[in-house]
Structure 1
Amino acid sequence: MPDAQEWLAAATVDDAVAALRPDYRVLLLTADGLQGGPGDATSERFLATAEATARERLDGRRPEDLPELAAWREAYRAFGAKPQRTRPSVEALLRRLEPDGLPRIDRITDVYNAVSVAHLLPLGGEDRAAYAGPPRLVRADGTEPFDTTAGGETVVEHPDPGEVVWRDDAGVTCRRWNWRQCTRTRITHDTTRAVFLLDVLDPLTDDDATAAADALTEGLLALGPGAVVHRRLVGSGSR
């Protein structure tokens, strides 16, 4: 497995994506030495705090009425996706706040979901040990493999031509920018090395992205005090 800093340095955002949304940035954060496992009191504390923060931010409004989320709907439409059918990940989470609260999945996923809804940005987490090469954000040609499940069975799908996807050397790791992650790189109870992708569009600023990354770092270190974290801001808007 490559050194985390070298791996981060090789991550790219393709010019075709930058042309689509010149304001796009991604803050990539790696964490090695994590302690995965089922949800516990620590991850529950982060989720409960984030739920309260998100409800306050929404203040009775629909998620898509927030400017931070409206920007992602526009970005989805720009490459031909229908955001009312395939929602940006942060919007999908916020829609689950009522009446039952956010899903409880595992201690690492619960912490990054908490940061996502509290800071109003899409945030994905993946097992870095399962990657083949560095992450790259591109517009798909439609032939790339995407492993997922359908009806309880493992299947391989393909993105639409022109779709914005994250990929590595083996295939697509996340479709429609931040809509659905593949099975291969998903976080599990055994994950010890992960990468987190914090997606940023205006009106969120680089300072907002840094604040979200700081909160994520705090959560990850609460789960595993010995974790080693690195980060890098990538994109045409890095300013």
Structure 2
Amino acid sequence: MVTVSISSKLHDSIPDFRVGVIVYHQLTVTQLPAIIAEKLPLYYQNIQLSLETQPIASIPGVHEWRALFKKAGSDPSRYRPSQEALLRKIARDGAPHSVNSAVDLNNFFSVQHSIPMGIYDLDTLKPPVIVTIGSVEDSYNALNGRIVNMEDKLTTIDQIGAFGSPIVDSKRSCITTDAKNALQIVYLRPSMSEDDAAHMLQKIAEMFVQVHGGDSDWSIVR
């Protein structure tokens, strides 16, 4: 199991902060199976329709995570939690952009549970991994094509440097069809009970392995 911890700096700002950690081995990343890919458009269409009458900021998972961003020291209206960004894209475009089976499934889980999630090519990382609040030295080339400075933002680092966050992840750690092993960070809502969090992580891991093969281990890190 990959060692993942939460820094004292983050615990000082958010004492009840937790993440779910799922490690996958011997994956085959391609495109989503047809049985899933055919159902996702209708799922996202239903969400798009519901967002016509429900403000995104009022969704419990979004509301809770915006509050966590403020506690960490960042402005959630400028740097949005990733599941809020996904919901805004669904409201605007009807669905997230399809990338590959791992990213598409990760986005589905994030929308389904209304929490940020990151999926990373484990072989690009140099553990241990620490979830923390970034400093002025922490930055990376992000998937949105920008150099993102992680000062006062929730971020995940390894021995090389920052590589992910519940905002946007880095190109260095992105998962592609070449990936064989993966690390998934599930940014739990503090209001979620331990039993509910464990049940969710188990179901996520099971579905991910059903699609990609291989095996998984999961844990809750406090």
On whether the aligned pair clears a TM of 0.5, the verdict is yes
Unaligned runs of 5+ in 2: none
Alignment of 1:47 onto 2:40: yes
Matched residue SS, 1:28: strand
Which one of the candidate residues 209, 212, 215 is aligned to 2:200?
Answer: 212
Residue in structure 2 matched with residue 229 of structure 1 by the alignment: 216
Alignment of 1:114 onto 2:108: yes
TM-score normalised to structure 1 length: 0.82
Distance change in 2, residues 1:211/1:56 (3 Å):
farther
Give how far 1:139 is off. 2.2
Which one of the candidate residues 4, 22, 31 is aligned to 1:29?
Answer: 22
Amino acid at match of 2:207: G
Q: Give CA-to-partner distance per residue, 1:20-73, whole Å, 9 cap, x none.
A: 112211010011111112344155156347536756986831221022211111
* Contact 2:65/2:115 (<8 A) preserved: no
Tell me how far apart the structure 2 counterparts of residues 123 and 17 of structure 1 sit (CA, whole Å).
18
Identity of aligned residues (%): 20
Distance change in 2, residues 1:149/1:97 (3 Å):
closer
Residue in structure 1 matched with residue 150 of structure 2 by the alignment: 159
Q: How many residues align?
A: 221
Distance change in 2, residues 1:136/1:42 (3 Å):
farther
Tell me how far apart the structure 2 counterparts of residues 186 and 64 of structure 1 sit (CA, whole Å).
28
Which one of the candidate residues 140, 147, 159 is aligned to 1:146?
Answer: 140
Alignment of 1:74 onto 2:61: no
Unaligned runs of 5+ in 1: none
Residue in structure 1 matched with residue 172 of structure 2 by the alignment: 184
* Contact 2:14/2:72 (<8 A) preserved: no
Distance change in 2, residues 1:96/1:211 (3 Å):
farther
Amino acid at match of 2:112: A
* Contact 1:34/1:223 (<8 A) preserved: no
Amino acid at match of 1:173: F
Amino acid at match of 1:166: T
Aligned Cα root-mean-square deviation (Å): 2.5
* Contact 2:73/2:153 (<8 A) preserved: yes
Distance change in 2, residues 1:45/1:209 (3 Å):
farther
* Contact 1:142/1:158 (<8 A) preserved: yes
Give how far 1:222 is off. 2.4
